[in-house]
Chains A and B, each alone.
Chain A
Amino acid sequence: MKCRVCRGPAIIDVRRHNANFCVEHFIEQCERQVTKAIDAFSMIAPGERVLVAVSGGKDSLALWDLLHRLGHHAEGLYLGLGIGDYSDDSGVYARNFATARGLVLHEVDLRRDYGYDVPRAAAATRRVPCSACGLSKRHLFDEVARQGNFDVVATGHNLDDEAAVLFGNVLRWQTEYLARQMPVLPAGNGFPRKVKPLVRLSEREMAAYCIVTGIDYQVEECPMAAGNSHLGYKEALNIIEDRSPGTKHDFYFGFLDRAAEAFRQGLEQDATMLGRCRDCGAPTPSDRCAFCRLVERAGGRLPGTDGQGPDAGTDTPVVLGRRERP
């Protein structure tokens, strides 16, 4: 295989583009695709402060690296989820990445700062762990962005992630979720802007990007995600993609071009009805937000309260975003 650009030896084939790339031109291709996504969807304006949600995995570290390379002011936020060795190792990857590049990494630890963790929350709510995990992440990304005066929160959702979520939402006609599935969610009602600059790049390309740029990342899968429906949707889509390269791209971007607008109209009406959580002040349609209810059910506590959570007295709550590296 030869690189499409320079005709030198290729290290990767990207079948949906019918193209092969050497290391240099593959990195350029990734930069170009991120720039294209940022420009096409007005994700980040020059000079804006970006908070990157960092898990220690390939997508979030590649995103942080790409935004940094492209000249954006990007700081990271790592959430300690309390999922055993997996979380401990993930934190090390995130910290090592930040330290090596002299980037600022903020940290929030669910167990230390809120007195609960994802396994405990999943047990208390009797729902799948990904539900409590996702709720915690969304709330804390918003919270840290507000407190740190960030203009935008960037997440490492890639083309495979978005296509799989779309597939699941279509299978069950989850119209409210379909209305929210955009590469950009604008700021408003107390929420920061949310952007997904990797939507034009596949999961395989992100792993390859990390390998060729020397980014050391958490390869092991989250033990609590095994067998979830999201991974099943990805598997199904990859069977189709293998036979018909480009299907995932056409499925997702065809939705954005030709169907998303019809679902969005209902979302805009709902957004005007939000109040503020009586405990934490976050935007919510009820008097207490879902996160505060989750913390209570899991036996945790909010920072700044005296704390009746299980770990109270052994851990010291910290103000969000205070811990920074380096």
Chain B
Amino acid sequence: MNVRLRNPSRTVQVQGGRSVAKLLNELGLNRETVLVIRNGTLVPGDGFLEDSDEVELRPVISGGAA
């Protein structure tokens, strides 16, 4: 499946057929720091991702020190 990443914006190919939680774990991403979006809709941790899915991993951590 195509996975869009941010900061910087780019797209990578990742094998589907796994849950969101498993995908994040395999990519070493903390689930507190990212949301998974498929077709504009949030996918929860137990959501299953297919090979044909277009997915965005959107980081949620932001901000300067002020």
Interface of A toward B, CB cutoff 8 Å: 1, 10-13, 20, 57-59, 128-131, 133-135, 137-138, 160-161, 202-204, 206-208, 211-212, 219-222, 224-225, 228-231, 234-235, 238-239, 241-242
Q: How far is the CB of B27 from chain A (nearest CB, A)?
A: 14
A-B contact pairs, 28 of them (CB 8 A): A10-B44, A13-B45, A57-B62, A58-B62, A128-B65, A130-B65, A133-B64, A134-B66, A203-B60, A204-B32, A204-B33, A204-B34, A207-B35, A207-B58, A208-B35, A211-B37, A211-B42, A219-B6, A220-B7, A220-B9, A221-B59, A221-B62, A225-B64, A228-B65, A230-B64, A238-B33, A242-B31, A242-B32
A211 touches B61 (CB 8 A): no
Write the chain B residue with the least CB distance to A11: B42
Selected contact of B46 from candidates A1, A241, A242, CB within 8 Å: A1
- A residues in contact with B43, CB < 8 Å: 11
Range of interface residues on B (Cβ < 8 Å): 20 to 34
- A residues in contact with B34, CB < 8 Å: 204
- A residues in contact with B42, CB < 8 Å: 11-12, 208, 211-212
Total cross-chain contacts (CB, 8 A): 94
| Cα–Cα distance between A310 and B18 once the two chains are bound (Å) | 57
Known: A10-B44, A211-B37. A137 touches B66 (CB 8 A): yes
- A residues in contact with B30, CB < 8 Å: 238-239, 242
* Overall SS of chain A's interface: helix
* Overall SS of chain B's interface: loop
- Most A CB atoms within 10 A — which of B6, B32, B41? B32
- B residues in contact with A129, CB < 8 Å: 64
Selected contact of A58 from candidates B9, B40, B60, CB within 8 Å: B60
- A residues in contact with B33, CB < 8 Å: 204, 235, 238
Q: How far is the CB of A307 from chain B (nearest CB, A)?
A: 26
| Cα–Cα distance between A236 and B66 once the two chains are bound (Å) | 18
| Cα–Cα distance between A138 and B37 once the two chains are bound (Å) | 34
Known: A133-B64, A207-B58, A231-B61. A12 touches B32 (CB 8 A): no
| Cα–Cα distance between A207 and B32 once the two chains are bound (Å) | 11
